[in-house]
Structure 1
């Protein structure tokens, strides 16, 4: 008794089994495939006669190519740890939801605002950064901060003690 198997024409580029003439097969990427083996890596949809994409040895249908390869995986927020599906704020080499990039002291959103990173690695609004991390005046014990609207400040340092210019002047004039 003979089986109705056609002439051997090659082996499948995926499963390596024989492909016979008359069986459902296709040629792609310079190889022969059983039609059932020539499928999308992601969804398994048959790609015989369909557009496909080859990326790093993996075959994708057009839908999965756009979803998996072209669109990168969502960023993960450095503040809350959840994925960021839309607007990504990049700061300090990390990604954030705009609403999660906040000063840890006052909880004010820092998107679009100047900020400083404290020694603890956290971003602070300038007001809280200076209140918490700025040098303190040895005379009045207040932080030495820029005046409102200014980005710089001047301090006098003598023997590892910092002074506001005005406090140092008062100190010197009263000696």
Structure 2
């Protein structure tokens, strides 16, 4: 079987652009070329692809049996991940490049596929990115304070700050002549 890329047509007279479009530009899945023998060499083995089904990934064409995970060798038929020119199945990609962080809120593992919220060096599950005191969820743009690993919304932080100032003030202030004993209830003593 012969075909010339410079001619712009497959051996069956079908335009090469049509073969490429039919080959699946959007996802790494099997697509029918509509014709047998579109003259695309396989990016893995280099042989011409003569099957009816081919795959196009990252602008290159592959035999359906040649597109494999670079770690475990499984065929990549439904989805794949690409990094530095190598292809991976989901499991191997997550194992190799996934983020194995621990949530600063609940201290449980964060899976690489989970959405997270980051603040400074802290990483949180989205559900754990909330005020420690009132449990109100914090959103991007909200003002908050991190105390240890605990998040405090602005309102609770200001309330705690005021409370600590007041307790400091009253613990250090003792007017002269004040009785240091607890007050008694005069009605209760009768």
Higher helix share: 2
Q: Say yes or no: TM over 0.5.
A: no
Higher strand share: 1
TM-score range, shorter chain: 0.3 to 0.5
Could you state the TM-score of these two structures normalised by the residue count of structure 2? 0.35
